[in-house]
Amino acid sequence: MKQLALTPPMGFNTWNTFSCDINEEIIKSLADAMVNEGYLEAGYDTLTLDDGWMSPVRDENGKLFGNPEKFPGGMKAIGDYLHERGLKFGIYSDAGTHTCAGFPASYGNERLDAKTFAEWGVDFLKYDYCFAPQGGGKDVVLYRKMGQALRETGRDIVYSVCWGVSTSPTWAKTAGGHMWRLTGDIADSWESISKVGFGAVGLEPYAGPGNWNDPDMLVIGMFGKGYVGKIGGGANINEYRSHFALWCMLAAPLFMGHDLRNTSDEVKKILLNKEAIAVNQDILGVQGYAVNGWKHALAKPLADGGVAVALFNESAEYNQILPISLEELGFESDDTVYVRDLWNHQDLGTFKSAVSVRVEPHDCAFLKLTRK
Ligand code: GLA
């Protein structure tokens, strides 16, 4: 097995929009959109079927199988459809007796399920922790069991630990996890986005190539629609821009969650911004840190000698002029630094000592600073 997830995993997950209402036709149309509308080319390569794909009971051999009404062709056929188009196949299970939505899960069947997933061509497993034993370190033991079972399949399967407790970053890597959830579920609102996103600031010691803090999937472009959209009620375009910059700066996995078959141009401009994605996917794999302890000013050192900077305006009402001192980023105060605006793909010129930018309410400046 080779080392996986050297940069943060990217893709699409069905949960935020569809909840358990997924089927063969929906998955195929999402896969087609990923390929035809440029998402795959931009790096979003994994299509993950979240909860609700499975039959309510295991088969006569104790194996999981796809709900025949939703997936009449079976799960391997879904994997084949994705692989034929250059996509990776992500699937969901849970360490307890049932998934969070009450379907059969992997407790006591870890080896069999890992083998079944490998046979179907699964490339990514999101593994949840509902209906599972609490306390006494049982969570760590159960995540280790699935991690071990996945490695023993010999197939390259990225392991996404979906247990949003504060301890996860400290043990999930030893359980074989490539990424780990930090909190409960994100909702489609600025309150939720900023809570889970800025809550990840400070966890940079745990992140690096092969291992990523996961503040949950993206709600960009949901605008209050779909399952999680209705829970949060929706955010605005400035807030979605900040959401994306924040996840890029955190080196967080980027899993879209809106109905990507129907995406407006202004949303595509965010999600398909290659310069922003390059910050997220930078091979150094450093998670952005709070400059001078202020979590609304993040900096992320990049492999080419540049530094990405994101400055977030916390105000919902006023524009703000946000400054950043070059010396706090590792430059000398008399250096001449070139500044590029990653949103608009524009060079803003050279600066000395400090950079200040005007930022709209709940929006952010997303910049790259280089000395040459
Ligand atoms: C939990 C997870 C979600 C989703 C659902 C599925 O709530 O945190 O991301 O996978 O379960 O039931």
Q: What is the CATH number of the domain that holds 322?
A: 2.60.40.1180
In degrees, to the nearest 5, what angle opens at C-alpha 159 toward C-alphas 221 and 94? 85
Q: What pLDDT does residue 371 have?
A: 95
Would residue 214 show up in a list of annotated catalytic residues for this protein?
no
Atom of ligand 1 nearest to the CA of 185: 8
As a whole number, mean pLDDT of residues 16-35 equals 98
d(CA 183, CA 213): 10
Residue 249 lies in a domain: yes
Is there a single domain that holds both residue 262 and residue 318? no
How many whole angstroms separate alpha carbon 321 and alpha carbon 143?
46
Element (H, E) at 179: strand 179-181
| 4 domain residue, yes or no | no
Q: The tokens of 130 are what?
A: 């509902």
Share above pLDDT 90 across residues of the chain, in percent, rounded to a whole number: 99
Q: Given this model, what pLDDT does residue 364 score?
A: 98
**Do 321 and 214 share a domain, yes or no?**
no
Model confidence band, residue 1 (pLDDT cutoffs 50, 70, 90): confident
Minimum CA distance residue for ligand 1 atom 11: 100
**Of 242, 262, 280, which marks where a domain is finished?**
280
Is 302 found in the same domain as 266?
no
pLDDT greater than 80 at residue 372:
no
Mean pLDDT on 160-165 = 97
Residue whose Cα lies nearest atom 9 of ligand 1: it is: 185
What integer pLDDT is reported at residue 87 of this predicted model?
99
Task: Report pLDDT for 110.
Answer: 98
Task: Give dist(CA 162, CA 139) in Å, integer.
Answer: 11
228 in any annotated domain: yes
Q: For residue 333, name the pLDDT band (cuts at 50, 70, 90).
A: confident
Q: Please give the distance, rounded to the nearest whole angstrom, from the Cα atom of residue 152 to the centre of ligand 1.
A: 26
Same structural domain, 258 and 328: no
Ligand 1 site residues (CB inside 6 A) read: 15, 50-51, 92, 99-101, 128, 162, 185
User: Could you tell me if 102 and 208 lie in one domain?
Assistant: yes
Confidence check: pLDDT of 219 > 80: yes
| Total structural domains within the chain | 2
Q: Would you call 56 exposed, middle or buried from its count of C-beta atoms within 10 A (0-12, 13-18, 19+)?
A: exposed
For residue 162, which atom of ligand 1 is closest to its CA? 8
In a domain, 3, yes or no: no
Question: Ligand 1 centre from 92 Cα, in Å?
Answer: 9
Domain of residue 182: give its range: 10-280
The domain boundary residue, chosen from 232, 251, 280: 280
Atom of ligand 1 nearest to the CA of 101: 12
The CATH number covering residue 139 comes to: 3.20.20.70
Q: How far is the CA of 364 from the centre of ligand 1 (A)?
A: 29
Instruction: Judge whether 19 lies within some domain.
Output: yes
Q: Which of 80, 156, 185, 341 is catalytic?
A: 185
Amino acid at 348: L
CB contact at 8 A, 93 and 125: yes
State which of 93, 162, 228, 231 you would mutate to test the pocket of ligand 1, scoring each by most atoms of that ligand within 8 A of its C-beta: 162
Closest ligand 1 atom to residue 164 Cα is: 8
Whole-prediction pTM value? 0.98
Residues 134-147: pLDDT tens digits? Answer: 999 999 999 999 99
Q: Do 107 and 129 fall within a single domain?
A: yes
Candidate list 113, 123, 128, 216, residue with the active-site label: 128
Alpha helices in 67-210 (DSSP H): 75-84, 110-120, 138-153, 168-171, 190-198
Q: Are residues 90 and 172 in the same domain?
A: yes
> Residues 264-307: pLDDT tens digits?
999 999 999 999 999 999 999 999 999 999 999 999 999 999 99
The string of DSSP letters for 202-219 reads T-GGG-BTTBEEE-----
Annotation says 113 is catalytic: no
